[in-house]
């Protein structure tokens, strides 16, 4: 074997090892997070938490039916249904399903929840095809997307009933939710904003889809998908411009749910712990710093 072949064999072996390690870490994270429910509770007004310790799901109730944001993992769907029931609501009264982005930890349970509720599923133009394909074809994963042929990152496919574009409003009776396409993490990653009535005050809740960079995603040519760098930059700008009062996100650690739940114990209401515009902007700033560092690193390696 020539020296050149040995070098290439070493590189290939190292890459294969890295993929195996990442896959094992990903599987371990699933085992830790997908089966750990959190007792459902009211965040504020008609906004409730029905997710797990790591992956979020939010229920917004209304007189004409309810809206559910995110289905978490496939195995999480029964827990979400149980949490909704514990709050005194019925899954059959969920009329609209929404999604933050087309990854298995947020879209995995949508198929079961749609079947159980009969709700209409809305998804962004950028993520709808990926959801309908059960996660396949997601270019944001970079080269490891080819592992989707072996089931990596896939989930039960589900038909999308309605597609929306950035800034569109989804309405259900008196409920109004605006879909902000904050792309990058996926081509159609969506952050949701909606008003929540608390007493005489109307607060704006914003749930951030994601601003993180998937492993092996490329921000430089060849980009994971055309325009991914510009999408991230626009997403930071767009979210920063929203006058968020209640800070939410697709993962609990991003808005410190566990800490806030500890502080809530014994309190008469929970809304004051979730009014966190400072934490909202700190999170966006931190994610933007990570993005810039990753971009600089990738540019230096071109």
Through-space distance between the first and last CA atoms of the chain, rounded to whole angstroms: 29
Q: Which residue has the higher pLDDT, 251 or 271?
A: 251
Express each pLDDT in 15-28 by its tens digit: 665 665 565 555 55
Which residues face 98 on adjacent strands?
69
Residue with tokens 């608390």: 198
Q: Is the pLDDT of residue 64 over 90?
A: yes
Q: Does 86 map to a domain?
A: yes
The closest alpha carbon to 94, from 69, 120, 65, belongs to 65
Express each pLDDT in 28-37 by its tens digit: 555 555 557 6
Q: Does 42 map to a domain?
A: yes
> Model confidence at 38, in pLDDT bands (50, 70, 90)?
confident
**Average pLDDT of span 130-153:** 79
Q: Does 63 map to a domain?
A: yes
Question: pTM above the 0.75 mark?
Answer: yes
CB 165 within 8 A of CB 12: no
Express each pLDDT in 194-225 by its tens digit: 999 999 999 999 999 999 999 889 999 999 99
Q: Is the pLDDT of residue 168 over 90?
A: yes
Tell me what pLDDT residue 157 has. Answer: 97
Residues 228 and 103: their CA atoms lie apart, in Å, by 17
Domain range for 198 is 34-300
CATH of the domain at 133: 3.60.15.10
Q: Does 126 map to a domain?
A: yes
Q: Does 4 map to a domain?
A: no
Tell me what pLDDT residue 246 has. Answer: 98
Q: Which residue has the higher pLDDT, 281 or 149?
A: 281
Q: Does 19 map to a domain?
A: no
Q: Does 46 map to a domain?
A: yes
Express each pLDDT in 68-121 by its tens digit: 999 999 999 999 999 999 999 999 999 999 999 999 999 999 999 999 999 999
Q: What percent of the chain has pLDDT over 70?
A: 85
Q: Does 133 map to a domain?
A: yes
Report how many domains make up the chain.
1
Tell me what pLDDT residue 259 has. Answer: 92
């Amino acid at each position: 074997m020539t020296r050149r072949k040995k070098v290439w064999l070493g590189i290939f072996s190292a890459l294969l090892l890295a993929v195996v390690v990442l896959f094992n870490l990903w599987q371990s994270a699933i085992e830790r997070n997908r089966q750990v429910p959190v007792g459902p509770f009211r965040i504020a007004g008609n906004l409730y938490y029905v997710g797990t310790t790591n992956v979020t799901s939010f229920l917004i109730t209304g007189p004409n039916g309810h809206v559910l944001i995110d289905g978490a993992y496939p195995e999480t769907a029964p827990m979400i249904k149980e949490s909704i029931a514990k709050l005194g609501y019925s899954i059959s009264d969920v009329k609209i399903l929404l999604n933050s982005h087309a990854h298995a930890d947020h879209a995995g349970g949508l198929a079961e929840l749609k079947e159980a509720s009969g709700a209409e599923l809305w998804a962004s133009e950028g993520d709808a095809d990926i959801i309908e394909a059960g996660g396949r074809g997601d270019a944001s994963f970079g080269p490891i997307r080819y592992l989707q042929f072996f089931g990596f990152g896939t989930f039960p496919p589900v038909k999308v009933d309605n597609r929306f574009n950035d800034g569109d409003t989804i309405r259900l009776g008196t409920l109004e939710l605006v879909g902000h396409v904050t792309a990058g993490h996926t081509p159609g990653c969506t952050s949701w904003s909606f008003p929540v009535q608390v007493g005489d005050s109307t607060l704006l809740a914003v749930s951030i889809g994601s601003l993180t960079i998937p492993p092996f995603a490329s921000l430089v040519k060849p980009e994971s998908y055309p325009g991914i760098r510009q999408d991230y930059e626009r997403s930071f700008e767009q979210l920063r411009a929203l006058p968020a009062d209640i800070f939410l996100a697709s993962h609990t650690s991003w808005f410190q749910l566990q800490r806030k739940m500890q502080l809530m114990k014994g309190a008469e209401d929970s809304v004051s712990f979730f009014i966190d515009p400072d934490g909202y902007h700190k999170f966006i700033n931190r994610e933007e710093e990570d993005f810039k560092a990753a971009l600089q690193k990738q540019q230096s390696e071109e």
